[in-house]
Amino acid sequence: MTTCLKRTLGPLLLAILAMTVLGCGGSMPLTNMTARELFDAGKEKYDNGKYYKATEYFQAIVYNYPAESIIDTAQYYLGLAYYGDEGYELAQTEFNRLVLNYPSSVYFESAMLLRAVCAYEAAPDHYGLDQSELEQAISLLDDFLIDFPESQYAADAGKYLLAARTRMARKYYSNAVVYTRMRAHAAALVYYQIVIDDYNDTEFGPGAVYGYAETEYQMGEYDEARTRFESFRTIYPEHELADKAFKMALVSAFKSGEKAFEKNDYPTAKEKLQDFIEKYRGNDEQRLKKAYEYLEAIDKTTVKESQVENASSREWRGVGDTGRNL
C-alpha cells in the first residue's frame, strides 16, 4: 500500500487488515495439526508480521479442511497474509474466492473491498505503463459503493476510488500534454476530452479544460478558445490558472477580430473588435489601441469602397444616358 494513501485511510479499513479472531498456538508438522491448531499457528505468524510463513498454515486449512466452520476465516486471512507480503495478485485471488464461495461470511463485505484494493496496489505506479489493474480497481470500487452505500467501509472505498481515478486521469492528461507539445492538436483534444468527460472530479479536471482551450487557441479557433477560457474562469474562479485564463480569453477575443480583419471580412471584424473593446476595455491598452486602429482602417476602407461604388454607379448611369441620347 502506498504510504501517502495509508495516511488517508480511515480506521475501519486499517482494522480489517489487523483483525484478530482467535488465540495463538504452538508449532508442529502441518499434517499432524487440526484446522484450529493450523489457524492459531498461522495467526501467530501473521500477527508477528511473518506473512509468508503464515500463508502455509492458512493454505493447509483451505486445501485440506473445506468443511470446517473456520474455512472462510482461513480464506480471509490467507488473503491478508498475501497482502501483507505485497503479493497483491495472489491476495486478490483469495479475496475473490471468499466472495464467490462464502457469500454469507462475516468477511464478505470487507473481502469485496479488499479485492478492489489489491487491484489498485497491483497497478504500476508510473502512469505510462499498462493500467489494466487500475481500470479493474475502479470498476470494483464503483461496484462496492453501489452495492454497499451505507457500509462502514464506504469512506475508505471512496478514498481509494478517488486515488485510482486520479491516477487514471493523470495518464490521459499526460498523453494530451505530450500530443500538445508535438502539435498533434486533434489527438491532444481527444485525451483532454476524456479527462473532462470522465475524470473532471479529479485534480486534473481543471487542467484538462484549460489545456483544451489552449489547444483550440493554437489551432486558430479563437472564438471557441475564448468561450472555453471564459467558462474556466467562471467554473474555477479560485484556481491558479484563473487569471491566466482571463488573459487568454482577452487575447482570443482580440485575435478573432484580427483574423477576420486580415481576411478582409470587415463586417465580422468590426463586430468582433467592438465586442473586444466593450468586454475588455481597460485590461490591455496595447491591444485596445490596435483594435481602434483596425476599426479606423475598416471605416476608411468602407468609405473608399462606397465612393468607388458611387463613382462606378454614376459612370454606368452616364453610359446609359449617352446611349439613350444616341
**Cβ–Cβ under 8 Å, residues 153 and 16:** yes
* CATH for 63: 1.25.40.10
Residue listed under C-alpha cell 476608411: 300
Within a domain: 42 = yes
What are the angstrom distances between the C-alpha of 26 and each of 18, 23, 34, 45, 47? 21, 10, 12, 11, 14
Within a domain: 22 = yes
Within a domain: 35 = yes
Within a domain: 19 = yes
Predicted local distance difference test score (pLDDT) of residue 127: 80
The three-class DSSP label of residue 236 is coil
Predicted local distance difference test score (pLDDT) of residue 24: 40
| DSSP 8-state class, residue 129 | S
- pLDDT per residue as tens, the chain (326 positions): 444 454 445 545 545 554 433 334 444 567 778 999 999 999 999 999 999 999 999 999 999 999 999 999 999 999 999 999 999 999 999 999 999 999 999 999 999 999 999 999 999 988 888 899 999 999 999 999 999 999 999 999 999 999 999 999 999 999 999 999 999 999 999 999 999 999 999 999 999 999 999 999 999 999 999 999 999 999 999 999 999 999 999 999 999 999 999 999 999 999 999 999 999 988 999 999 999 999 999 988 876 655 445 445 555 555 555 445 44
Within a domain: 260 = no
Within a domain: 269 = no
Surface-to-core class of residue 235, CB atoms within 10 Å of its CB (0-12 exposed, 13-18 middle, 19+ buried)? middle
**Cβ–Cβ under 8 Å, residues 39 and 78:** no
Domain that holds residue 51: 1-122
Residue type, 222: Y
Predicted local distance difference test score (pLDDT) of residue 308: 45
The domain tally of the chain equals: 1
Total residue length of the chain: 326
Within a domain: 230 = no
Within a domain: 264 = no
Distance CA 204, CA 83 (A): 30
Surface-to-core class of residue 275, CB atoms within 10 Å of its CB (0-12 exposed, 13-18 middle, 19+ buried)? middle
What are the angstrom distances between the C-alpha of 83 and each of 61, 116, 263? 18, 12, 66
Q: Hey, what's the torsion of the CAs at 290, 291, 296, 299, to 10 degrees?
A: 150
Q: What sections of 219-284 are H helices per DSSP?
A: 222-235, 242-262, 266-280
